[in-house]
Chains A and B, each alone.
Chain A
Amino acid sequence: DTAVSQTPKYLVTQMGNDKSIKCEQNLGHDTMYWYKQDSKKFLKIMFSYNNKELIINETVPNRFSPKSPDKAHLNLHINSLELGDSAVYFCASSQGGGSAPLHFGNGTRLTVT
């Protein structure tokens, strides 16, 4: 009964490859997010979607393309991976975007070699 699930949990790939991370939530929330936790442990927002529409795009390189086929899914596709993309990526969801707390997935650790 996982609320926010993302796959894969670990992803090791070489520079220049294209990869995707999938995220699904079964909470019935209307807003989904991608956050990146960098090597300094800061969690920073990348994107947010509300009812499948892009709301926030936080100056992320256009090699990163989120796709929301429906309210329950928000996938992240990354083209031409670079070493600096190595990080832990967290998917999250909430009902609305105001004071509703975010529910996070367990993260995908991406390592680019």
Chain B
Amino acid sequence: DQQVKQNSPSLSVQEGRISILNCDYTNSMFDYFLWYKKYPAEGPTFLISISSIKDKNEDGRFTVFLNKSAKHLSLHIVPSQPGDSAVYFCAASAIGGTSYGKLTFGQGTILTVHP
């Protein structure tokens, strides 16, 4: 019963192009969404987040889009750089609920950016 799904296990893009990572969720109680990046042998690091009251949030090369009706979010990286090569996790939480700080993660997408 995975409430957050990243259906693409991997993505390969050329340096300078756009990377688009997708995430779907099923729990309508989720109202806050985050993306984390993870390098091998390290813990996930926070990248960008979005509240359900917004449909877009931008931070430099990273933009997250949220489509609540479709229960879908995506992370756009433009332009992609080789240093962006990592595993990207989508995560969701229900801030208004009693799940204090609980994040539900997807299974991750391995992004490889080729020079």
Binding site for B on A (CB under 8 A): 4, 31, 33, 40-45, 48, 50, 55-56, 58, 90, 92, 94, 96-107
List the B residue with the shortest CB-CB distance to A37. B105
In the bound complex, residues from chain B placing their C-beta under 8 Å from that of A97 are 100-102
Residues of B41-97 at the interface with A, using a CB-CB cut-off of 8 Å, are 41-46, 49, 51, 87, 89, 91, 93, 95
In the bound complex, residues from chain A placing their C-beta under 8 Å from that of B23 are none
A41, B105: Cα distance in complex, Å: 10
A58, B99: Cα distance in complex, Å: 10
Tell which of A94, A98, A104 touches B95, judged by Cβ atoms closer than 8 Å: A98
What 8 additional pairs, Cβ within 8 angstroms, besides A50-B101, A56-B102?
A41-B108, A43-B91, A45-B102, A45-B103, A99-B95, A102-B101, A104-B36, A107-B41
What are the 5 closest A-B residue pairs judged by CB atoms, nearest first? Answer: A97-B101, A104-B43, A97-B100, A101-B46, A43-B105
In the bound complex, residues from chain B placing their C-beta under 8 Å from that of A98 are 32, 95, 101
Contact between B43 and A90, CB atoms less than 8 A apart:
yes
Q: Is B8 an interface residue (CB 8 A)?
A: no
In the bound complex, residues from chain B placing their C-beta under 8 Å from that of A56 are 99-102
Closest approach, in angstroms, between the C-beta of B36 and any C-beta of chain A?
8
Contact between A101 and B101, CB atoms less than 8 A apart:
no
In the bound complex, residues from chain B placing their C-beta under 8 Å from that of A100 are 101
Closest approach, in angstroms, between the C-beta of B9 and any C-beta of chain A?
9
Tell which of A48, A96, A99, A105 touches B43, judged by Cβ atoms closer than 8 Å: A105
